[in-house]
Each structure stands twice: as structure tokens, then as C-alpha cells.
């Protein structure tokens, strides 16, 4: 594995236009170790020593090879999985059970087949503690935002994969988490919808300043959306690089693609992942 | 006998909008009529109706039984026995199934016992039940109950086992309370399995009731079949069997209808 090992963290990066300087630490991983006991009693080291922090209002993308442990890290952050070593904290509190305000959008949509589109989004509203009389209005707005108009009463098995993913995103947004863990949320979307959803996510994020950890396989998507891109190595995962994305916001997909900074960054990540060019 | 149908209602149309495929009912009725005519003809040309009766005789007999009120008396007796047994099995079996699914250690401990009882030919228990519970309704209810109980237990356990683990994890990640998870995930997930248990259970419950009646009773369709047989009255035997068959079919349709109404998301 000829991966680059230098950490390229731009420590003293200037604050970007329109965003606060790095604030309170929301999520912290320190020297995280995770291994699984396999059925044949051998152990599989998935994460071996990862440290990173995510601050208030920060949008962090995580890229890395398949099976490197990206989903596993998100599970550890929301208390679904106990690490074998190291330290996981959200808002300074060590995570032992799911912390409040943390929303997880799974790689699989995990919709409830017996609830309609609106019903599935309502799960988020119900569990997010939103007053019941605001549910309808909120769900209506999310349905529109996610372009699911006309499908409010459809059952999940009547939806396409991309639509299901949008419903899952709707449920996450209805939960109103202040830290969003998103596991390849746009993986099943076509290019146009992906761009559109990315824009919507950014507008939600810019308006409400939530912290986001966004796992993706799409390098351009990571650079286009995030403040930082963290690159994982193959299993056992280490952090290969941690890039600050200094592209101005609001971001315009079209214009950005011809920005040399954008191209350079995607090229660099490309090289980190040791992808053939 | 019992008709269990796997409902794979794969309707591609959006709920409430699409047109339905033409009903299979006319074809089904035509087929049944055709078979009855064949039977009738065979009884004239192929065999002596003493052995196998014939549809016209059976129809006559059913008409007489209906007029005298006996038909209703026997039918309602058997229906009560099978229905009570079925409901009782649901009421007992569903909680047991849920409990065992949530306590896998206990389930593993009990597994040989459950599978042993499940594998036992429970119709053979009938004489014992008559002895224990008398020749009244109760022994037949218990027969139906034992026939169906395991269907509910095993189906509900399987239903819970097939719940998507991600759905439960998602609930956990959003800090859902126990009651919320039961209400929004667990119960909706097992409803189709409970309805399927009813569909399979109807036939078994009828078998339980009828077997109980065959062994010891003074009324019910099983008793009527048994006593007709004792008098070498094949028309009576077939009349009872046909009523039982129609009951099983009707119950099956009713439950199928309920399944489509309740489990609309399939
Ligand atoms: N419960 C588990 N038991 C055993 N091994 C597991 C378990 N969960 C994950 N793993 C293993 O951990 C490794 C990392 O899994 P993870 O799902 O985190 O990968 P990922 O980076 O999200 O991959 P992808 O991009 O394909 O989604 C995989 O090799 C997987 O087999
Ligand atoms: Mg993953």
C-alpha cells in the first residue's frame, strides 16, 4: 500500500467567509481502537488508533476504501457500538449510550415498511421531541424540500432507492439533531438529484449550523460539501490525511468544478486513496 | 381440505389508483361446477352411489338438514369449538412467541420441548382430552387450541427474528423508549405473521374440533360425519365433509380479505 502518510492539516487556516471560527468541540475521537471478534474466534482490527475532532457547525467529510471502518466509526459515535480502546465523546461526555441530539442516517435506509413516507418522517419528529402540533407543518416542508410531493401517502415499497434515501434524510432532519452522522446518504441517487440534495443539505446546514460527519465514496462530493475531508486508509483504518477545504461559501457546483483549488484537492485525495489515475 | 394460499400480491400500481386484474372467480366457479357434473355422471356410469354418493343426493340432504335446523346446529357447534380454540391459541401463543423471541436463552432451553410437542401428532391426544375435559365443547376447544398454538408461537418468533436490525438500531440511536419501539416496530412487524397464523390455523382448528367430535360428542359436523359413517350413509358423510370444506374456504377468504385491508403496505 503506497499511501501518503503525511498529515496535511492546515492548522492555521483562515476562517472562511460567513462561518464562525472553529467553536466548541462537538465530537471527539481519541486513539480509537475497534476490533471485532469473528465467528472463528479470531479478531479483526477495524480501527487502530484514530483521533479526530469535529467542532460546532463544522462539516466534515470522511472518505476511505470500502470496509475501512467508516460506518463503524459513526456507530461508535452514536453509542451503538463499544470501542475496544480509546475515547469517544460527544459534547465532552464520554459516549456509553446514544447521546442526545445525535442523528444517524444509515447507509441502508431502514425505513419502516408499514409507515408511509410522511409516517416515516414523523418518526424523526416524534423522537426529536418536537411539539405534536408542529409535526404536520414540519413534515410538509420536508416533503417539499426533498421533492417527495405527491408521495406523502406512498408506502416505502412503492419508492425507488433514491426516494427511499430522501425519506430517510427527511426523518433525520425531522429529528433536528445538532450533530448529524450521515453514512453515504446520497449513495443511491442519480447525479442530478445528488447535486440537488447536496445543495439542500448545505442550505439546511448553513441556516442551522449543525455539525455534520458525512461519509462518502465520492471525492468530488466530499470536497464540494465539506469544510474538512478526512481520508481513511484501508483496514485497519488510520487517518491518511485531513484536508481543510478553503473554498468560498456558498458553493456553486458549476463554478467550483473549474476552480483550480477544487481540482488540486480532489487530485490529492485521489492520490491518497492510491486510485489509479 | 384446507386451502392455504401464499398471497404474493405484487401490485405495481400506486395505492388506490391502478385497475385490478380481472377476478379469477368466474373461472373458479366454472371449475367447481365442472367437477360436480363429472362426479354426478361418474355415480351413474362408473360406480354404485352407495359407496360414493352423488352431488344431487348431497344437495337434497343439505336442504333437508337446513330445513330441520340440524345443519345450523351442527355447523355452529363446530364453528364455536374451532373459533374459540383458534382465538384462545392466538391469545396465548402471541405473547409466548414475543416472550421467547426476546429471551433467546430461554427459547434455546425450551427448543427441544417445543419442537417435540410441535412434532407430536396432536390428533392422537383426542381420547385423552375427552377423558380429561369431558364430551362437551371444552374438550374440542382444547383440541383446536393445541393444534394451532404452535403455529402462533413459531410464526411470531420468526416475525420478530426477521425484523431489520437497522430499524432497531435506528430507534436506539434516536433514544426511542421501550414502549415506542414496541408500538412502532415490533407490533407492526408481527401483524402479518399473526394474520398468516390465522390463515393457516383455521384449517387446523377445524381438524382439531372435528377429531374431537369423532372421538366423543353428541353434535357437530364431525359427529354427524361419524354417525353417518356408522350407518353406512355415505351421503351424510359427504354432506358433513362438504360443509367443513366450505367453512374452511370461507374462513380463508375472510382472513385473506382482512390481510389485504390491514396489511396494506405489503
Ligand atoms: N458487527 C460486525 N462484526 C464483525 N465484523 C464487522 C462488524 N461490523 C463491521 N465489521 C467489519 O468491519 C469492517 C469495516 O466495516 P464498515 O462497515 O465500517 O466499513 P465501511 O468503511 O463503512 O465500508 P463501506 O464503504 O463499504 O460502507 C468490515 O471489514 C466489516 O466486515
Ligand atoms: Mg459503510
- A142: Cα within 13 Å, side-chain hemisphere: 27
Whether residue B34 lies inside any domain: the answer is no
What's the average model confidence in pLDDT over A229-243? 91
Q: Is B241 exposed, middle or buried (0-12, 13-18, 19+ CB in 10 A)?
A: middle
The pLDDT score that the predictor gives to residue A4 is 38
Which residues span the domain enclosing B154?
71-265
Residue by residue, DSSP assigns A166-197 as HHHHHHHHHH--SEEEEESTTTTS-HHHHHHH
d(CA A98, CA A76) in angstroms, rounded, equals 9
The pLDDT score that the predictor gives to residue A265 is 92
Q: A87-108: per-residue pLDDT in tens? A: 999 998 999 999 999 999 998 8
Chain B residue whose CA is closest to A151: B14
DSSP letter at A7 equals -
Residue A215 Cα, ligand 2 centroid: separation in angstroms? 8
- B42: Cα within 13 Å, side-chain hemisphere: 12
Residue by residue, DSSP assigns A29-50 as EEEEEEEEE-TTS-EEEEEEEE
Q: Can you tell me which residue has the cell 452522522?
A: A181
What's the CA angle centered on A211, arms A210 and A216, to 5 degrees? 120
What CATH number corresponds to the domain at position B214? 1.10.3720.10
Q: Is A48 in the pocket of ligand 1 (CB under 6 A)?
A: no
Which segments in chain B show pLDDT lower than 70?
A: 1-21
Residue in B244, B185, B173 with CA at minimum distance from that of residue B209: B244
d(CA A262, CA A270) in angstroms, rounded, equals 12
Domain extent listing, chain A: 2-100+217-273
Q: Is B73 exposed, middle or buried (0-12, 13-18, 19+ CB in 10 A)?
A: middle
Residue B166 Cα, ligand 1 centroid: separation in angstroms? 14
Whether residue B47 lies inside any domain: the answer is no
- Interior/surface letters B153-177, b for 16+ CB within 10 angstroms, e for the rest: bbbbbebbeeeeeebbbbbbbbbbe
Tell me which residue in B175, B188, B189 faces A127 most closely, judged by beta carbons. B175
Residue in A229, A222, A223 with CA at minimum distance from that of residue A243: A229
Across all residues in chain A, what is the average pLDDT?
Answer: 86
- Give the global pTM: 0.81
Whether residue B19 lies inside any domain: the answer is no
Whether residue B35 lies inside any domain: the answer is no
Residue A66 Cα, ligand 2 centroid: separation in angstroms? 7
For helices B70-102 and B137-161, give the axis angle rounded to 10 degrees.
40
The pLDDT score that the predictor gives to residue A28 is 92
The residues pairing with A36 across neighbouring beta strands, listed in sequence order, are: A44
Residue B104 Cα, ligand 1 centroid: separation in angstroms? 25
Helix, strand, coil share (%) of chain B residues, nearest 5: 80, 0, 20
Q: Please report the ipTM that was assigned to this predicted complex.
A: 0.85
Ligand 1 atom nearest the C-alpha of A37 is 4
Phi and psi torsions of B54, nearest 5°:
-155, 155
The residues pairing with A180 across neighbouring beta strands, listed in sequence order, are: A103, A212
Q: A164-196: per-residue pLDDT in tens? A: 999 999 999 999 999 999 999 988 788 888 888
Chain B residue whose CA is closest to A104: B173
Maximum separation of any 2 CA atoms in chain A, in Å: 56
Phi and psi torsions of A62, nearest 5°:
-120, 125
Residue by residue, DSSP assigns B128-154 as HHHHHH-SSHHHHHHHHHHHHHHHHHH
**Cβ atoms of A162 and A193 closer than 8 Å:** yes
The residues pairing with A232 across neighbouring beta strands, listed in sequence order, are: A239
Whether residue B209 lies inside any domain: the answer is yes
What are the grid coordinates assigned to A264, written together? 488540486
Q: B82-131: per-residue pLDDT in tens? A: 999 999 999 999 999 999 998 989 999 999 998 998 888 888 888 899 99
- A30: Cα within 13 Å, side-chain hemisphere: 10
Confidence category of residue A276, pLDDT binned at 50, 70, 90: low
B53: left (phi over 0), alpha (psi -120 to 50) or beta: left
For helices B137-161 and B187-215, give the axis angle rounded to 10 degrees.
150
- Chain A positions in Cβ-Cβ contact with residue B169 (cut-off 8 Å): 75, 80, 106, 110
Q: Can you tell me which residue has the cell 414475543?
A: B98
DSSP letter at A239 equals E
Domain total of chain B: 1
Whether residue B6 lies inside any domain: the answer is no
User: What is the number of H-type helices and E-type strands within chain A?
Assistant: 8, 10
In Å, how far from its chain's centre is CA A225?
10
Q: Is the pLDDT of residue A2 over 90?
A: no
Q: Is A44 in the pocket of ligand 1 (CB under 6 A)?
A: yes
- Chain B positions in Cβ-Cβ contact with residue A116 (cut-off 8 Å): 265
Confidence category of residue A21, pLDDT binned at 50, 70, 90: very low
| CA-closest residue to ligand 1 atom 9 | A72
Residue in B207, B205, B119, B201 with CA at minimum distance from that of residue B156: B201
Q: In CATH, which superfamily holds the domain spanning A2-100+217-273? A: P-loop containing nucleotide triphosphate hydrolases (3.40.50.300)
Whether residue B86 lies inside any domain: the answer is yes
Pairing of strands A93-94, A85-90: antiparallel
A104/B170 Cβ within 8 A: yes
What are the grid coordinates assigned to A141, written together? 416542508
Helix (H, G, I), strand (E, B) or coil at A70: helix
Distances (CA, A) of B186 to A187, B157, B183: 28, 11, 6
CA distance A229 to chain B (A): 25
Q: B8-18: per-residue pLDDT in tens? A: 444 444 444 44
Q: B46-56: per-residue pLDDT in tens? A: 888 888 899 99
Amino acid at each position: 500500500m503506497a499511501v501518503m502518510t503525511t498529515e496535511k492539516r492546515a492548522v492555521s487556516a483562515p476562517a472562511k467567509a460567513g462561518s464562525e471560527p472553529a467553536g466548541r468541540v462537538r465530537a471527539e475521537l481519541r486513539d480509537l481502537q475497534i476490533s471485532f471478534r469473528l465467528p472463528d474466534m479470531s479478531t479483526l482490527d477495524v480501527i487502530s488508533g484514530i483521533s479526530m475532532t469535529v467542532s460546532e457547525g463544522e462539516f466534515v467529510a470522511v472518505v476511505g476504501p470500502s470496509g475501512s471502518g467508516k460506518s463503524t466509526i459513526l456507530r461508535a459515535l452514536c453509542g451503538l457500538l463499544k470501542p475496544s480502546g480509546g475515547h469517544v465523546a460527544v459534547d465532552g461526555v464520554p459516549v456509553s449510550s446514544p447521546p442526545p441530539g445525535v442523528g444517524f442516517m444509515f447507509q441502508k435506509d431502514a425505513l419502516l415498511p408499514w409507515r408511509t413516507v410522511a409516517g416515516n418522517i414523523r418518526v424523526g419528529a416524534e423522537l426529536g421531541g418536537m411539539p405534536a402540533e408542529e409535526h404536520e407543518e414540519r413534515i410538509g416542508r420536508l416533503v417539499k424540500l426533498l421533492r417527495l410531493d405527491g408521495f406523502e401517502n406512498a408506502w416505502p415499497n412503492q419508492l425507488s432507492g433514491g426516494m427511499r434515501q430522501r425519506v430517510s434524510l427527511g426523518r433525520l432532519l425531522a429529528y433536528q439533531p445538532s450533530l448529524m452522522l450521515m453514512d453515504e446518504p446520497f449513495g443511491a441517487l442519480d447525479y442530478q438529484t445528488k447535486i440537488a440534495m447536496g445543495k439542500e443539505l448545505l442550505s439546511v446546514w448553513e441556516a442551522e449550523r449543525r455539525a455534520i460527519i458525512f461519509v462518502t465514496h465520492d471525492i468530488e462530493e466530499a470536497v464540494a460539501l465539506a469544510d474538512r475531508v478526512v481520508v481513511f486508509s484501508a483496514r485497519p483504518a488510520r487517518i491518511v490525511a485531513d484536508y481543510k477545504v478553503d473554498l468560498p461559501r456558498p458553493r456553486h457546483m458549476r463554478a467550483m468544478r473549474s476552480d483550480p483549488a477544487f481540482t488540486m484537492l480532489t487530485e490529492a485525495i485521489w492520490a491518497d486513496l492510491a486510485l489509479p489515475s | 381440505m384446507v386451502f392455504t394460499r401464499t398471497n404474493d400480491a405484487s401490485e405495481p400500481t400506486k395505492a388506490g389508483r391502478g385497475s385490478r386484474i380481472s377476478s379469477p372467480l368466474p373461472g373458479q366457479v366454472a371449475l367447481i361446477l365442472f367437477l360436480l357434473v363429472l362426479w354426478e355422471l361418474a355415480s351413474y356410469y362408473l360406480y354404485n352411489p352407495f359407496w360414493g354418493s352423488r352431488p344431487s343426493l348431497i344437495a337434497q340432504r343439505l336442504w333437508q338438514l337446513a330445513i330441520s335446523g340440524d345443519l345450523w346446529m351442527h355447523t355452529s357447534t363446530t364453528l364455536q369449538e374451532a373459533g374459540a380454540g383458534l382465538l384462545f391459541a392466538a391469545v396465548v401463543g402471541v405473547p409466548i412467541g414475543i416472550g421467547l423471541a426476546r429471551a433467546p436463552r430461554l427459547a434455546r432451553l425450551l427448543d427441544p420441548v417445543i419442537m417435540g410437542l410441535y412434532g407430536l401428532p396432536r390428533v392422537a391426544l383426542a381420547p385423552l382430552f375427552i377423558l380429561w375435559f369431558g364430551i362437551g365443547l371444552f374438550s374440542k376447544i382444547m383440541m383446536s387450541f393445541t393444534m394451532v398454538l404452535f403455529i402462533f408461537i413459531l410464526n411470531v418468533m420468526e416475525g420478530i427474528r426477521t425484523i431489520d436490525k437497522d430499524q432497531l438500531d435506528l430507534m436506539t440511536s434516536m433514544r426511542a423508549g421501550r414502549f415506542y419501539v414496541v408500538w412502532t416496530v415490533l407490533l407492526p412487524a408481527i401483524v402479518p405473521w399473526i394474520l398468516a397464523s390465522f390463515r393457516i390455523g383455521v384449517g387446523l382448528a377445524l381438524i382439531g374440533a372435528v377429531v374431537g367430535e369423532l372421538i366423543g360428542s353428541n353434535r357437530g359436523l364431525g359427529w354427524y360425519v361419524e354417525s353417518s359413517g356408522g350407518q353406512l350413509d355415505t351421503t351424510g358423510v359427504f354432506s358433513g365433509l362438504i360443509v367443513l370444506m366450505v367453512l374452511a374456504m370461507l374462513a380463508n377468504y375472510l382472513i385473506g380479505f382482512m390481510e389485504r385491508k390491514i396489511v396494506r403496505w405489503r
